[in-house]
C-alpha cells in the first residue's frame, strides 16, 4: 500500500503540473479507490498545502528556496539562471546567479533560456592596489588611476607607497630647518626636526647687547650709560613697566627705543617681580611679556634670544585659539593679574608692558692702564682714571704696563709684609708661641690697618687641647676677617653628603688657598655667624656669603636638618663661569636633600613643580644620581632637562670660610 505521505506528494505534483498550464483546469483524477489513493474529501479535509512551511508557496516547492529537503538533489527551483542550490540543514538554499563573471566593469544578465550576457560599462572601480586612486573601467578592464600621493608634509620622513600596503613614512636622519633664524640647521630624529645649535650673535663690541629673534635673526642694541637705569634693577637687568595700550609688536618697538626688549621671564622670582612691577604701574591688568611662537607654531621663544625652560601658563594654555599649525591664531604671550600666562592674538592690545635690558657696562681695555670707560650709544667713551693693579697682597709688586695690563710679581723671600714675612708670594704672620689670636676676625679687629690676605697662625681655644695651626685669612672680602675651614675637591668621595669631612673633627691638608683638599680645626673649633663659600672654575675663584649661626661649622650638619638661605638663583649661578639650573623648586641652603640629590651647601632645581625629582644642582657636598652621573662630582654644577643655561657637568674645587 502507498503510504499517506507518498499519496500527498503525488497529489501535490499533479496540482503543480496543472497549475503551470498543462491540461485543462480540472485534472482527471484516478478512480476513487481507497486502495490506490487515499485523498480526503476536499469539502471536509484541510488543504494539501497545510503540511508545508507557512512562508513557502506550493507553486515553488519542492526544490525552491526555503523548501524542506533531506539532500542536495531535492533542491532545484527550476530557474535556468540559478545554480548550486544545496540542502545544508533540511531547507533548500537560494541558487547562485550563473552569469556572474566577477568583473566589476561588466553588467551581468541572464535571459529566460539561461543564456548569459556581459555588457561593458564605464565608471569608477577599485583595482585592489592601495597605491592607485580614482581607478576607472575601460573595455571591461579596471584600469589603474593616478598614483596615490603619500606626502605627510614632514621634511623628516621619506614618503613612499608600497604595493599591497599603501603609504609608508620612513624617518630620516637628514638635516632640517625649523623656521628659526637663530639656530643652524637642525637634525631629524625619529621623524621630528630637532633644533640645531644656536647661531652666535656676538658682533665683537662690548658696547652692544646682542640678541636674536627667530623671524629676523641676530640684532644688536646699544648699551646705555650706567646712569640710564633709573627704573628697577633685578637679577642683573634693568626693568621698567609702561602703562600704554599697545599691540605686542608695538610694545616691543617701544622697548627697543628704551634700549631693551619685552621682558624675558626666566624663573619664578622673575615672574613674581614682573607681576609686582606691572601691578604697581598699571594696576591688576594684563601685561605683555616677551614670549612668542610667531616664528614657528608651538615653539615659544623669548624676544632677547636667551633660552629658558621656565613657563607659567594658565591651565589649558597656550591653546592657539582660532589658529592652526600653519595659520596665525594666538602667538603672543601676556601675563594675567594672577601672574599666569595666556597666548593672545597679535591684533589685541594690552594696557601694560614690561621691558628689560642689561645693566650698563664698563668697557675698559683689559690690557690698558686706565679705567672708568663706559659705553654710550654703542661706543666706548674714554677712560677717566688710572687703573688700580693692587691685588691686596703685600707680598707682590703690582704694576701696569700699557698694552699688557696689570702684573703682580712676588716679593723676595722673607720680605717684610707688615705683620710677618713673605714666603712664595704669601704673607705669613709671625706671632709668639702661646700668643696667637683665636681667629682671623680677631686679628683684623686688633690691627690698626687692614692686614693683607694670607697665612696666619691662630689658636681657637688658647691653652686648650687644640694646638695652634696655620690657615688662610681673607681680610678684605665682604667685611674681612674670614677664616678658612675646609677645601673641597669635587672628585673626592670623602666630600660627598655623608662623608666624614662634614661630621668628624679630623684635620688634614694645609691652610693654603689652593685646590688641595683639607679640613682644618677651624671647622669645629670656631663659632659661626656667617659662611663664605667659593668655587674654583675656569681658573677663577668666585664667592658667595651666607648668613647662618651655629656653635661651629660642622655643627650645622650634625642633625641633618635643612637650614634655608635666600641668596637667589643668580647668586648661585655666578659661582661658576656659566652656571646653569632648572627653573622650578630652587631649594637652597644647608642640608638640602631630595629623592635624587643631597647637598651640604647649595641649591637644587627641577623642570617640574615636583621638588623630589630634581635634575640640577649647584654647590658642595653632593651625593646625586642626576643627568646620568652617579655620586660624583661632589662639588660643582650638574644640570639637564631644560636648565636655563643648558646642560652642565662641572667638577669644581671649593673653599669654605667662616666668621
Whether the bond between 491 and the residue before it is cis, its omega within 30 degrees of 0, is: no
Instruction: Return the pLDDT at 225.
Output: 72
Is 471 in the same domain as 619? yes
C-alpha cell of residue 216: 629676523
Instruction: Return the pLDDT at 656.
Output: 98
Mean pLDDT of the chain: 83
Instruction: Return the pLDDT at 300.
Output: 84
In the structure, what pLDDT confidence band is assigned to residue 603 with cuts at 50, 70 and 90? very high
The count of C-alpha atoms lying within 13 angstroms of the C-alpha of 285, restricted to the half-sphere facing its C-beta, is 17
Is 463 in the same domain as 574? yes
Each residue's pLDDT tens digit, 460-469: 998 889 999 9
395 lies in some domain: no
18 lies in some domain: no
Is 332 in the same domain as 441? no
Q: Which residue matches cell numbers 647637598? A: 599
E-assigned strand segments in 13-129: 82-83, 96-97, 106-110, 116-120, 124-125
In the structure, what pLDDT confidence band is assigned to residue 7 with cuts at 50, 70 and 90? very low
Instruction: Return the pLDDT at 392.
Output: 67
Is 482 in the same domain as 621? yes
Instruction: Return the pLDDT at 353.
Output: 98
Instruction: Return the pLDDT at 564.
Output: 94
In the structure, what pLDDT confidence band is assigned to residue 323 with cuts at 50, 70 and 90? low
User: Does residue 132 have a pLDDT over 60?
Assistant: yes
Q: How many CB atoms lie within 10 A of CB 318?
A: 22
Which carries the bigger pLDDT value, residue 229 or residue 252? 252
Bridge-based pairing state of the strands 454-458 and 426-429: parallel
Q: Measure CA 361 to chain center.
A: 33
Is 531 in the same domain as 639? yes
Is 572 in the same domain as 439? yes
Q: Select from 638, 625, 579, 584 the least CA-distant residue to 607.
A: 584
In the structure, what pLDDT confidence band is assigned to residue 242 with cuts at 50, 70 and 90? very high
Is 342 in the same domain as 440? no
Which carries the bigger pLDDT value, residue 651 or residue 300? 651
How far apart (Å, rounded) are the C-alpha atoms in residues 188 and 171? 8
Is 244 in the same domain as 350? yes
Instruction: Return the pLDDT at 6.
Output: 36
497 lies in some domain: yes
Is 346 in the same domain as 439? no
Domain count, the chain: 2
CB-based contact 367:404 (threshold 8 Å): yes
How far apart (Å, rounded) are the C-alpha atoms in residues 375 and 383? 10
Instruction: Return the pLDDT at 497.
Output: 95
Each residue's pLDDT tens digit, 396-449: 888 888 777 788 888 898 888 766 788 777 777 766 566 788 999 998 888 877
Q: What's 257's domain CATH number?
A: 3.10.100.10
Is 444 in the same domain as 580? yes
Task: Out of 307, 333, 358, pick the residue that ends a domain.
Answer: 358
In the structure, what pLDDT confidence band is assigned to residue 34 with cuts at 50, 70 and 90? very low
590 lies in some domain: yes
C-alpha cell of residue 258: 628704551
298 lies in some domain: yes
Lowest mean pLDDT, pick from 88-92, 127-131, 260-264: 127-131
From residue 571, alpha-carbon distances to 153, 365, 503, 543 in Å are: 46, 26, 27, 9
Number of separate helices (H) and strands (E) present in the chain: 6, 45
Instruction: Return the pLDDT at 257.
Output: 85
Region 21-27: mean pLDDT is 39
DSSP, collapsed to helix, strand or coil, labels residue 90 as coil
Most confident segment among 196-200, 464-468, 545-549 = 545-549
Each residue's pLDDT tens digit, 336-346: 999 999 999 98
365 lies in some domain: no
> ∠ CA(637), CA(643), CA(646), 5° rounding?
80
DSSP, collapsed to helix, strand or coil, labels residue 96 as strand
344 lies in some domain: yes
User: Does residue 18 have a pLDDT over 50?
Assistant: no
Say which DSSP state 471 is in: E
Task: Out of 324, 343, 358, pick the residue that ends a domain.
Answer: 358
Q: Which residue matches cell numbers 605683555? A: 288
User: Does residue 16 have a pLDDT over 60?
Assistant: no
- Size (the chain), residues: 659
How far apart (Å, rounded) are the C-alpha atoms in residues 626 and 633? 11
Instruction: Return the pLDDT at 14.
Output: 36
Each residue's pLDDT tens digit, 477-492: 999 999 999 999 999 9
Is 492 in the same domain as 344? no
The boundaries of the domain holding residue 635 are: 431-658
Is 438 in the same domain as 542? yes
C-alpha cell of residue 84: 548550486
C-alpha cell of residue 60: 515553488
Instruction: Return the pLDDT at 53.
Output: 46
The count of C-alpha atoms lying within 13 angstroms of the C-alpha of 94, restricted to the half-sphere facing its C-beta, is 3
- One-letter-per-residue 3-state SS of 123-180: CEECCCCCCEECEEEECCEEECCEECCCCCCCCCEEEEEECCCEEEEEECCCEECCCC
Region 280-306: mean pLDDT is 86
219 lies in some domain: no
Which residues are bridge partners to 35 per DSSP? none
Which residues are bridge partners to 302 per DSSP? 291
How far apart (Å, rounded) are the C-alpha atoms in residues 304 and 13? 101
Instruction: Return the pLDDT at 501.
Output: 95
Dihedrals φ, ψ of 638, to 5°?
A: -125, 130
Amino acid at each position: 500500500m502507498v503510504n499517506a505521505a507518498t499519496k500527498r506528494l503525488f497529489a501535490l505534483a499533479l496540482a503543480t503540473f496543472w497549475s503551470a498550464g498543462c491540461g485543462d483546469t480540472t485534472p482527471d483524477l484516478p478512480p476513487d479507490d481507497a486502495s490506490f489513493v487515499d485523498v480526503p474529501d476536499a469539502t471536509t479535509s484541510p488543504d494539501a498545502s497545510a503540511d508545508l512551511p507557512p512562508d513557502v508557496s506550493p507553486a515553488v516547492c519542492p526544490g525552491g528556496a526555503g523548501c524542506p529537503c533531506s539532500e542536495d538533489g531535492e533542491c532545484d527551483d527550476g530557474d535556468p539562471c540559478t545554480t548550486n542550490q544545496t540542502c545544508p540543514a533540511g531547507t533548500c538554499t537560494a541558487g547562485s546567479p550563473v552569469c556572474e563573471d566577477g568583473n566589476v566593469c561588466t553588467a551581468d544578465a541572464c535571459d529566460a533560456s539561461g543564456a548569459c550576457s556581459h555588457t561593458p560599462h564605464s565608471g569608477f572601480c577599485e583595482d585592489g592596489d592601495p597605491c592607485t586612486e580614482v581607478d576607472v573601467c575601460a573595455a571591461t578592464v579596471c584600469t589603474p588611476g593616478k598614483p596615490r600621493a603619500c606626502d605627510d608634509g614632514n621634511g623628516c620622513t621619506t614618503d613612499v607607497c608600497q604595493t599591497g600596503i599603501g603609504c609608508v613614512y620612513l624617518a630620516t636622519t637628514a638635516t632640517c630647518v625649523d623656521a628659526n633664524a637663530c639656530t643652524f640647521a637642525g637634525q631629524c630624529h625619529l621623524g621630528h626636526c630637532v633644533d640645531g645649535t644656536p647661531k652666535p650673535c656676538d658682533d665683537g663690541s662690548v658696547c652692544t647687547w646682542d640678541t636674536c629673534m627667530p623671524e629676523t635673526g641676530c640684532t644688536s642694541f646699544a648699551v646705555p650709560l650706567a646712569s640710564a637705569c633709573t627704573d628697577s634693577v633685578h637679577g642683573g637687568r634693568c626693568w621698567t613697566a609702561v602703562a600704554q595700550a599697545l599691540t605686542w609688536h608695538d610694545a616691543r618697538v617701544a622697548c627697543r627705543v628704551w634700549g631693551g626688549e619685552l621682558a624675558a621671564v626666566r624663573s619664578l622670582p622673575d615672574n613674581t617681580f614682573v607681576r609686582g612691577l606691572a601691578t604697581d604701574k598699571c594696576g591688576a591688568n594684563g601685561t605683555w611679556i616677551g614670549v612668542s611662537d610667531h616664528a614657528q607654531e608651538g615653539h615659544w621663544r623669548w624676544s632677547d634670544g636667551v633660552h629658558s625652560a621656565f613657563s607659567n601658563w594658565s591651565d589649558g594654555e597656550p591653546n592657539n585659539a582660532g589658529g592652526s599649525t600653519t595659520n596665525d591664531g594666538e602667538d603672543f604671550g601676556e601675563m594675567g593679574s594672577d601672574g599666569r600666562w595666556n597666548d593672545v592674538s597679535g591684533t589685541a592690545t594690552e594696557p601694560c608692558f614690561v621691558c628689560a635690558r642689561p645693566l650698563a657696562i664698563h668697557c675698559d681695555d683689559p690690557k690698558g692702564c686706565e679705567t672708568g670707560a663706559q659705553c654710550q650709544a654703542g661706543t666706548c667713551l674714554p677712560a677717566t682714571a688710572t687703573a688700580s693693579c693692587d691685588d691686596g697682597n703685600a707680598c707682590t709688586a703690582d704694576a701696569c704696563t700699557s698694552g699688557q695690563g696689570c702684573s703682580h710679581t712676588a716679593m723676595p723671600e722673607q720680605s717684610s709684609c707688615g705683620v710677618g714675612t713673605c714666603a712664595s708670594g704669601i704673607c705669613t704672620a709671625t706671632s709668639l708661641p702661646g700668643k696667637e689670636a683665636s681667629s682671623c676676625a680677631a686679628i683684623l679687629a686688633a690691627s690698626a690697618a687692614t692686614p693683607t690676605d694670607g697665612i696666619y697662625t691662630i689658636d681657637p681655644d688658647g691653652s686648650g687641647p687644640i694646638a695652634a695651626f696655620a690657615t688662610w685669612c681673607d681680610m678684605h672680602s665682604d667685611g674681612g676677617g674670614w677664616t678658612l675651614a675646609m677645601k673641597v675637591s669635587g672628585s673626592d668621595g670623602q666630600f660627598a653628603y655623608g662623608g666624614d669631612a662634614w661630621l668628624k673633627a679630623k684635620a688634614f691638608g694645609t691652610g693654603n688657598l689652593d685646590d688641595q683638599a683639607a679640613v682644618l680645626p677651624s671647622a669645629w673649633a670656631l663659632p659661626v655667624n656667617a659662611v663664605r663659600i667659593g668655587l674654583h672654575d675656569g681658573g677663577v675663584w668666585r664667592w658667595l656669603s651666607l648668613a647662618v649661626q651655629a656653635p661651629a661649622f660642622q655643627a650645622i650638619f650634625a642633625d641633618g636638618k635643612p637650614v634655608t638661605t635666600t641668596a637667589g638663583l643668580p647668586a648661585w649661578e655666578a659661582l661658576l663661569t656659566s652656571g646653569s639650573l632648572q627653573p622650578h623648586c630652587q631649594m637652597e641652603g644647608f642640608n638640602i636633600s631630595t629623592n635624587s640629590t643631597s647637598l651640604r651647601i647649595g641649591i637644587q632645581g627641577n623642570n617640574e613643580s615636583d621638588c623630589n625629582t630634581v635634575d640640577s644642582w649647584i654647590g658642595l657636598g653632593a651625593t646625586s644620581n642626576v643627568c646620568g652621573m652617579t655620586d660624583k662630582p661632589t662639588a660643582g654644577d650638574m644640570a639637564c632637562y631644560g636648565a636655563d643655561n643648558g646642560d652642565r657637568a662641572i667638577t669644581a674645587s671649593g673653599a669654605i670660610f667662616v666668621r
